[in-house]
Amino acid sequence: MRYSLASLLRQACSGHRGWEAAWRDASPKSAYEVLIVGGGGHGLAAAYYLAKVHGLTDVAVLEKDCIGLGNAGRNTTIIRSNYLLPANNPFYELSMKLWEGLEQELNYNAMVSQRGVLNLFHSDAQRDAFVRRGNAMRLHGVDAELLDARQVRRMLPILDFENARFPIQGGLLQRRGGTARHDAVVWGYARAASGLGVDIVQRCEVTGLLREGARITGVRTTRGDIRAAKVAVSVAGHSSRVAAMAGLRLPIESHVLQAFVSEAIKPVLPCVVTFGAGHFYVSQSDKGGLVFGGDLDGYNSYAQRGNLPTVEDVCSGGMALMPAIGRLRLLRSWGGIMDMSMDGSPIIDRAPLEGLYLNAGWCYGGFKATPAAGLCLAHLLAREESHELARAFRLDRFATGHLLDEKGQGPQPNLH
Amino acid sequence: MRIECPFCGERDHSEFAYFGDAACARPAPGAADAQARFVEAVYLRENPAGAHRELWYHEFGCRSWLQVTRDTRTHEILEVRLARESTAP
Amino acid sequence: MVDPTCGPLCAFAGLPAIAGSGDGVVAKERDGLGIARITARDRQLAALERLVQRRFHLLLPKGARRTGCGEVSLAGVGPESWLMTCENAGNAFAIGLRDSLGGPATVVDLSDAYVMLRLAGAKVRETLAKLVPVDLHERSFQVDDVAQTVAEHMAVTLWRLGDLAGGEAVFEISVGRSLARSLHGAIRESAAEFGFVFEPA
Amino acid sequence: MSSHRLSGEGAIQRDRTLSFTFDRRGYTGHPGDTLASALLASGVRLLGRSFKYHRPRGLLSAGSEEPNALVELRAGARREPNTRATMIELFDGLTARSQNRWPSLAFDAGAVNSLLSRLFVAGFYYKTFMWPAAWWERLYEPAIRRAAGLGRASREADPDTYEKAHAFCDLLVIGGGPAGLAAALTAGRAGARVILCDEDFLLGGRLNGDRHQIGGESGALWARRSEAELRSLPEVRLLTRTTVFGVYDGSTFAALERVSDHVSVPRPHQPRQRLWKIVARRAVLAAGALEHPIVFGGNDRPGVMLASAVRTYVNRFRVAPGRRIALFTACDDGWKTAFDLLEARIDVPVIIDARREIPPALRAQGSRHGVRIMTGAHVLGTRGGKGVEAIEVRGEDGRVSRVRADSLAVAGGWSPNTALSTHLGGRPRWSEAIGAHVPGDLPRGMTAVGAACGELALAGALRTGAAAGREAAGSAGLEAPLEQWRTEEEPVGFARRWSVSGHRGKAFVDYQHDVTVEDIEIAAREGFRCAEHLKRYTTLGMGTDQGRTSQLNGHALLATLTQREPADMGTICARPPYTPVAIAALAARARGPQFKPCRLTPSHRWAEERGAVLVDAGEWRRARWFPLTGEADWRSTVAREVAGVRAGVGICDVSTLGKIDVQGADAGAFLDRIYANMIATLPVGRTRYGIMLREDGIVLDDGTVARLGECHFLLSTSTIHAGRVMRHLTHARQVLWPQLDVQLVSVTEQWAQMAIAGPHSRELLMRVLGDAVDVSGPRFPYLACQEFLWLGRPARLFRISFSGELGYELAVPARYGESAVRALMAAGGTLGVVPYGTEALGVMRIEKGHAAGAEINGTTTAADLGLGRLVSARKDFIGRVLAARPGLAAADRPALIGLTPVERSARLSTGAHLLRPGAPATLSHDEGFISSTAFSPTLRHWVGLGFLSRGRERIGERMRAYDPLRGEDVQVEIAHPVFYDPAGERVRS
Ligand SMILES: Cc1cc2nc3c(=O)[nH]c(=O)nc-3n(C[C@H](O)[C@H](O)[C@H](O)COP(=O)(O)OP(=O)(O)OC[C@H]3O[C@@H](n4cnc5c(N)ncnc54)[C@H](O)[C@@H]3O)c2cc1C
Ligand SMILES: NC(=O)c1ccc[n+]([C@@H]2O[C@H](COP(=O)([O-])OP(=O)(O)OC[C@H]3O[C@@H](n4cnc5c(N)ncnc54)[C@H](O)[C@@H]3O)[C@@H](O)[C@H]2O)c1
Ligand SMILES: Cc1cc2nc3c(=O)[nH]c(=O)nc-3n(C[C@H](O)[C@H](O)[C@H](O)COP(=O)(O)O)c2cc1C
Ligand SMILES: [Zn+2]
């Protein structure tokens, strides 16, 4: 059923009895052309684009739990394309363009909100680095503006301009950046993919890979073996675990990132802000909660929860930036397990085994990539070659030294 | 998380800096395939869900490097030793 | 010409001497200490031990403990590494130590690297509990125990001296010299509800 | 205003009266009241409006699970939205306002939403507002945002202070009800270190709300006596008003103490709140159980209240929540409410028990009071305006009747308060025995006792509490006798009843978020059938109460709709914090100027005295420049400082550079592995510039290495990287090469170090140092270093230069840093000595083409920086192997170059990208960027450093420096990066 105000009105009159399942809760068949492991945003988007762009519908998405409860369901929903490196910037801009038409494409309101993303700087050196980045964006036709402290103040009077340890000097603003309703992105892609014939199989954990020589021929799951010509792994945070089933080691560590939401309040924050002198970034959800986060907890973990020092660190960053939120209360905190890659950039590539494809290493920035990652993974699966904007996301770049290190932190994932 | 530093005693992990997998020893620099081995040691990770041997630096304490064995699923700490005293893997 | 030795200059000069009312915590600057870090050279620990005992009549403490004899004290700050202090000795202390212990140990002068406060008063434990994540209960942190830890992002070294006659506990806390003002502020504000008195050197 | 205050003893002090206002109207209450009880006593029962439909709402509970009665407490900078009236301890002068309503609580325009409630069902916005796309940001979203949210945050900085405290104990008791008190008493009497926290300001838990007997005295009295005893035990710490809100790894608990929330303004030096970080050997979860309501039509109308809350208001606060209170129960415990009401002479028109069978004793006791009893009956709906006036009941026979009542007490049954048992990942387990979830796998060292573990009756609470206290004492090596307390039997029968079929009107599951039965039906229909999807689709349990009173009902409903058992539904995991915690409390002192400590240089006071403008460099605060009166702007100040150095002599405090003392027989060999260049060959008394790489082949840092003795080196690092380099070195020392004889000590804080630079620097040093050291040219050549005694104190001199002039760095023990600067300034007076700051330092290093932080940025190789010649081919060192990877060794990598504007008057801007003239401004034509720029007072035009692909081969080429961000586009010429004295004659002079 198409969603619209009219269909809503119709349903309202009939007691909402006519709504159908948003997506089919499929049982797995014994074989598919393409299997996508991982029912997060990326996996579902890839399935959608396989069906939509490449006409491939003999596709299943296997999700160990219910879809969208991984990182897609627990991230701070920031979307932006303000990257520096020439390998990253065009890719994220492609994603941004896809976000801009997503609702109409999916017939699902994912509440993509281009409210602006403002990165604050507090020193000349930081400003210079931002200017370099902003100019790289402009060279690719991406919007970027440099604000001075006065302009920042006009936009966000709630920030601390009087008493700060590291005074705000200005910011780099991407107005087209913003947020999207994370769960709706998952549901929207699932509904659209399912509508095109893709099987979405929930509670189906991949526990092994079926192999013939150096070729992957399917997967072993908690719901039986499933054969496939191609298996794509898109399991954010758990890539190493699935890769280990094929005997592979990846340039990835799994780390927790915590996120936080405050009690709901009336609007105080019109855009997304990142603090440049500490670990804190924040936006206000449409429901009214301040959604914020900060640094990684910093150690390998699969526990999907964090510890107190990070909570304190993030909140002190928040207080340093916006002392008016002091009496607001933190409502809930949670953690997500992310693939932290060794240079901070992702991998969309064939694995060294035939039939196996990787979409991994998204660190804490993969939500914004959801549409483009799905599109590029679908491209790789369907065309057997990298999408032109994802060519640098190779697995062998660590061996060849063609690293994509935006922050210059080197092979220490907890510093990216 | 609390790490029992062999020198300082049990301390909150916020006193320590984390350095990752302790199993990645520095390969012999002279070997013919040294570059491939360095790539493995510097970039490739087992990243296990379970016991993980890893390095922590007691930066706010005695400045010892520790080799800690910790379960990455539960954060439970199974063993701690001074890195300098642990038999190199 | 200005005398370049017109110091020693108090790192705490000009900072507020009281906060709140009362003397729940009394902080006294320790100045003029000679402080040296001695680290045993490779396989020289036994030799160092003997030498220290002969020269200073002190046993090198094992672990994070402290020991003292007369003007001199030794505190374990790392495996095979100690901070040695000497009252009113200044930089000359390390220079002398290098001559006496320089064979089996590396001696580095840190007399200026740290500033130190001696903390006493009825509320000293309550105050320190706001600052350091270490159990300071009298049974857990005993006389002559040493802890290197963190207080409000600052690396600090803390040890407990013998109790006063009335049973009151006494601690000394040190921090890098550049952080003197920040540490003073942290202690002052934490102690203010009990009354804080500061005695500069 | 009629008083609903009852006579008789409770836990309020009637001899004192407190005044407060709610929505500007004045009321009174007593110490011991909460805002909720005081308002109820004054007959106020409309306290708020719901989130979506703006339905009138009153109190549901008497505790922290309250979903409805959220108010704005205090005003101005202390305004605190969403505060639960049930948790606000009354104080004199309290002001509170209702929220999420306009223009007033009684007449709320937002209530029109109710009319559209058929449209505003679960998921409505996912299905609408998509056309036209541009309207989302402009129209739809702002409207949605304005409508959402509850209270209003203050726009001013929070004026109160907060602090943290650390605590350690043998036993942490979470909850001070009978179970918790029993645990604390048992362990405490044995001498264990016990901390007991309760979020209430009164210890006793249900003992205060109920009428129990323990050992022949009233439960409330027993609690008072237990408290007094605990207070007398030296190793026991009682923390009331303290919520344990998080369980973390390593038996670490976070608790929030509301130190001053019960006074209008904190006393001087008293924090508002204190964050406790508690490390406990053992923990006892004695957090009790929560009563859940039953879902029926109009169940949100003010006057519908949890039955246990009704008892609490009556017994503890001596307030009658109504004059005619009906009871709807599905468990034995609910009957207590009726009996307590009757005892207090409040009319109970009917007891409606959903069960067909009830214990005869209850029926008998009810009959004794002459109350009408309906069994097998259900409440279908309520009637009234902004409060209950009547209820509609369906009897066992199916007939619907109407009962006049102004309130309805609802007892749906009890759920153990498992939240804290799941913070570390444990999941609650369904218990058929009590029809609710009980704690499953508990965190190591934690035991659940009392109602929190499903031991609902008092006797069980005391017994399990005491046993856990004893076990905890035992684990601390202490012997504790098992205490026993005598109590009456308590019936705890129940029936599974979560919602009423055939209800009339909207039936609310999650009160705060207005999630109704209909929403759950829609979710089920659309396939949102797992608990997590239900939550995310309907927002059930996502409010400030985190679904404390709604989750079980919601899940049970969904289970029924999807033909499953509640046991199969699982639970939503509870996450920290247990109840919402002020963000300021988690930051405590680390905010404002104290956000991070501030490191001051040895010459700080002197620099301030001279009016230096300061700048933050990491944690350090340094002098940026030293303005003189009459100087037009900072550029002229810096120009003067640079000129002063280049023509005369200047002084700059460079103490912030990291300094690492390296000694030992293998020190030279060790440093050879650390640095890319050779170190072991450095003669004693000499200094060398060195670079170190990360193992991945990228430059980590640069600095100098001075050899002070055969086995003694002193390294300098950049200010920013000092910590990282020390970590890198200790890692190499302890992990990579533990067998080497090397000792590392950071001496950054030990030495004050002054750069003395300029043609007159030697003259100045001679004046100051006298014959302490011979600084004459031949004796102290470029790169010499020496330790010596200066006026009896150790000092060090290095002939090194960042500025490119004849220069030295003089190190003295840090405490003499200030006096050394003063001495240098005094002695240099006739030489025209200038103090200079970091800005002049930066200008001069750019003129000299020295790479700094902007160039050594974690992505550049030695070759990129033009330092390839330093890299030794004769040895192994960290980073050597991987630096040879094709990507890092490629010839077309951007290399360090200098830039000058073609138009000499033009300025260069850092961050501009380099394009070939005429090339389109696109990424694919981007060939490099400018990393540092400065106006060179020496050359009288701007100079810059940057990176350009194959840059070294392109000197003399013209490029475009393109900076659209600042609207600049300048022609530049590529130059050698060393603009000033390229032959380096001045440093050697
Ligand atoms: C706290 C936090 C904040 C973040 N903030 C942002 C942000 O603001 N902006 C941004 O762009 N990015 C952000 N991210 C990152 C972003 O969420 C992720 O990069 C992105 O969601 C990952 O892609 P995904 O949606 O496909 O992952 P997921 O949703 O995690 O999908 C992976 C799925 O694979 C499933 N799976 C795993 N193993 C198996 C198996 N063996 N068999 C079957 N299924 C399996 C998992 O259950 C999961 O559902 C954040 C992440 C976190 C944790
Ligand atoms: N008969 C029944 O069906 C029935 C059912 C439930 C409860 N009860 C009664 O409840 C009582 C059970 O005793 P109990 O001691 O287990 O529970 P309790 O409810 O009496 O005490 C729990 C205490 O824990 C505190 N608390 C909860 N969470 C906290 C947190 N995170 N931090 C700090 N404090 C917190 C509460 O403020 C409360 O004071 C008995 O009196 C029993 O009669 C009876
Ligand atoms: C953008 C965003 C907003 C959220 N807002 C709320 C909220 O208002 N209330 C709430 O209880 N949880 C909120 N959450 C947190 C979720 O309840 C949940 O904690 C999170 O998705 C992780 O799931 P888990 O805690 O079950 O592991 C939000 C999460 C996200 C990502
Ligand atoms: Zn230690």
Give per-residue pLDDT as tens, D54-101: 999 999 999 999 999 999 999 999 999 999 999 999 999 999 999 988
Q: Do domains C18-31+113-199 and C34-109 have the same CATH topology?
A: no
Q: What is the pLDDT of residue C7?
A: 54
Ligand nearest to the CA of residue A190, numbered in listed order: 1
CA angle D726, D727, D729 (to 5 degrees): 65
Q: From the CB of A102, is ligand 1 less than 6 Å away?
A: no
Could you write out the three-class secondary structure of D370-414?
CCEEEECCEEEEEECCCCCCEEEEECCCCCEEEEECCEEEEECCE
Mean pLDDT value across residues D376-385:
97
Distance (Å, whole) CA A205 – CA A70:
13
Please name every residue paired with D960 in a beta bridge, in sequence order, or none if there are none: D915, D971
Q: What is the number of the ligand 1 atom nearest to the C-alpha of A334?
A: 1
pTM: 0.97
CATH of A5-77+182-251+343-415, one of 3.50.50.60, 3.90.79.10, 3.90.1150.10, 3.30.300.30: 3.50.50.60
Give per-residue pLDDT as tens, C46-58: 999 999 999 999 9
pLDDT at position B89 over 50: no
pLDDT at position C8 over 70: no
Please name every residue paired with D943 in a beta bridge, in sequence order, or none if there are none: D934
Distance (Å, whole) CA C119 – CA D16:
42
Q: From the CB of A334, is ligand 3 less than 6 Å away?
A: yes
- Model confidence band, residue C3 (pLDDT cutoffs 50, 70, 90): low
**Contact indicator for D526, D396 with CB cutoff of 8 Å:** no
Give per-residue pLDDT as tens, D201-237: 999 999 999 999 999 999 999 999 999 999 999 999 9
Q: What is the number of the ligand 2 atom nearest to the C-alpha of D64?
A: 37
Tell the CATH topology of C34-109. Answer: Alpha-Beta Plaits (3.30.70)
Distance (Å, whole) CA D263 – CA C32:
47
Q: What is the pLDDT of residue D1?
A: 41
Q: From the CB of D542, is ligand 3 less than 6 Å away?
A: yes
Is C152's CB within 8 Å of D594's CB?
yes
Which CATH superfamily is C18-31+113-199 part of? Probable tRNA modification gtpase trme; domain 1 (3.30.1360.120)
For residue D11, the one-letter residue type is A
Please name every residue paired with A224 in a beta bridge, in sequence order, or none if there are none: A221
Give per-residue pLDDT as tens, D119-143: 899 999 999 998 888 888 888 999 8
**Contact indicator for D877, D693 with CB cutoff of 8 Å:** yes
**Contact indicator for A174, D605 with CB cutoff of 8 Å:** no
- Model confidence band, residue C2 (pLDDT cutoffs 50, 70, 90): low
> Which residue, D252, D236, D250, D141, is CA-closest to D195?
D236
Show me where the domains of chain B are located.
2-25+35-85
Q: Strand D217-218 to strand D213-214: parallel, antiparallel, or no bridges (unpaired)?
A: antiparallel
Q: What is the pLDDT of residue C87?
A: 96
Q: What is the pLDDT of residue D116?
A: 85
Which residue among D64, D172, D196, D199 is best mutated to probe the pocket of ligand 2, counting the most ligand atoms within 8 A of its Cβ? D199
B81 CA: distance to closest CA in chain A (Å): 18
Show me where the domains of chain A are located.
5-77+182-251+343-415, 113-176+253-341
Taking CA–CA distances from A315, the nearest residue in chain D reads: D587
Distance (Å, whole) CA A30 – CA A329:
50
CA angle D423, A279, A320 (to 5 degrees): 105
Distance (Å, whole) CA B10 – CA B68:
13
- From the list A240, A342, A414, the residue facing B43 with the nearest CB is A342
- From the list D137, D254, D587, the residue facing A316 with the nearest CB is D587
Distance (Å, whole) CA D926 – CA A139:
8
Contacts of D920 (CB under 8 A, 6+ apart): none
Could you write out the three-class secondary structure of D413-458?
CEEECCHHHCCCCCCCEEECCCCEEECCCCCCCEEECHHHHCCCCH
Q: Where are the alpha helices (DSSP H) in D106-216?
A: 124-127, 135, 141-147, 178-189, 206-209
Sheet with C154-161, edge to edge strand ranges: C18-19, C196-199, C25-30, C114-120, C170-176, C154-161, C146-151
- Model confidence band, residue D736 (pLDDT cutoffs 50, 70, 90): very high
D738 CA: distance to closest CA in chain B (Å): 5
pLDDT at position C6 over 70: no
Q: What is the pLDDT of residue D496?
A: 86
* Residue that has been written with the tokens 């002398």 in this structure: C96
Q: How many helices (H) and strands (E) does chain D have?
A: 25, 51
Is B33 within 8 Å of chain A by CB?
no
In the three-class reduction of DSSP (H, G, I as helix; E, B as strand; rest coil), residue B20 is classed as strand
Contacts of C140 in chain D (CB under 8 A): 168
Which backbone phi and psi does D704 adopt, to 5 degrees?
A: -110, 155
For residue D249, the one-letter residue type is D
> Which residue, A247, A167, D733, is CA-closest to C42?
D733
Q: From the CB of A362, is ligand 1 less than 6 Å away?
A: yes
Is D743 within 8 Å of chain B by CB?
no
Q: What is the pLDDT of residue A68?
A: 98
**D605 sits in which H/E element:** helix D604-609
Q: What is the pLDDT of residue D579?
A: 97
Q: Which two tokens stand for residue D761?
A: 């620097």
Q: From the CB of D177, is ligand 2 less than 6 Å away?
A: yes
How far is residue D745 from each of residues D662, D689, D715, measured CA to CA in Å? 7, 20, 10
According to the CATH classification, is domain A113-176+253-341 in 3.40.640.10?
A: no
Contacts of B83 in chain D (CB under 8 A): 734-735, 738
D285 CA: distance to closest CA in chain A (Å): 20
**Contact indicator for D601, D817 with CB cutoff of 8 Å:** yes
* Residue that has been written with the tokens 């490097």 in this structure: B65
Taking CA–CA distances from C103, the nearest residue in chain D reads: D664
**Contact indicator for D124, D130 with CB cutoff of 8 Å:** no
Nearest CA to ligand 3 atom 11: D542
Show me where the domains of chain C are located.
18-31+113-199, 34-109
Please name every residue paired with A329 in a beta bridge, in sequence order, or none if there are none: D582
* Residue that has been written with the tokens 């976000």 in this structure: A99
Residues with C-beta atoms within 5 A of ion ligand 4: B 5, 7-8, 58, 61-62
Could you write out the three-class secondary structure of chain C?
CCCCCCCCCCCCCCCCCEECCCCCEEEEEECCCEEEEEEECCCCHHHHHHHHHHHHCCCCCCCCEEEEECCEEEEEEECCEEEEEECCCCCHHHHHHHHHHCCCEEEEECCCCEEEEEEECCCHHHHHHCCCCCCCCCCCCCCCEEEEEEECCEEEEEEEECCCCCCCCEEEEEEEHHHHHHHHHHHHHHHHHHCEEEECC
**Contact indicator for D194, D171 with CB cutoff of 8 Å:** yes
Q: What is the pLDDT of residue B87?
A: 57
Q: Could you report the predicted ipTM of this complex, rounded to two decimals? A: 0.97
- Model confidence band, residue C11 (pLDDT cutoffs 50, 70, 90): confident
Mean pLDDT value across residues D268-275:
96
Residue D422: exposure state from Cβ atoms within 10 A (0-12, 13-18, ≥19): buried
Contacts of A91 (CB under 8 A, 6+ apart): A83, A369, A372, A376, A389, A390, A393
According to the CATH classification, is domain B2-25+35-85 in 3.30.2270.10?
A: yes
Distance (Å, whole) CA B31 – CA B34:
5
Please name every residue paired with C188 in a beta bridge, in sequence order, or none if there are none: none
Residue C38: HSE in the Cβ half-sphere, 13 Å Cα cutoff: 31
What are the DSSP calls for D53-91, one per residue?
Answer: T--EE----SSTT-SS-EEEES-GGG-EEEEEGGG-B--
* Residue that has been written with the tokens 């927790």 in this structure: A256
A262 CA: distance to closest CA in chain B (Å): 24
* Residue that has been written with the tokens 């109602």 in this structure: D451
Mean pLDDT value across residues D776-804:
94
Phi-psi region of D950 (alpha: psi -120 to 50; beta: other; left: phi over 0): left
Using the mean position of ligand 3's atoms as its centre, give its distance from the Cα of residue D146 in Å: 20
Give per-residue pLDDT as tens, D388-443: 999 999 999 999 999 999 999 999 999 999 999 999 999 999 999 999 999 999 99
What share of chain D has pLDDT > 90, as a percent?
93
Mean pLDDT value across residues D798-821:
96
Mean pLDDT value across residues D283-288:
98
pLDDT at position B88 over 60: no
In the three-class reduction of DSSP (H, G, I as helix; E, B as strand; rest coil), residue D554 is classed as helix
Is A14 within 8 Å of chain D by CB?
no
Q: What is the pLDDT of residue C1?
A: 47
Mean pLDDT value across residues D703-723:
97
Is D522's CB within 8 Å of A265's CB?
no
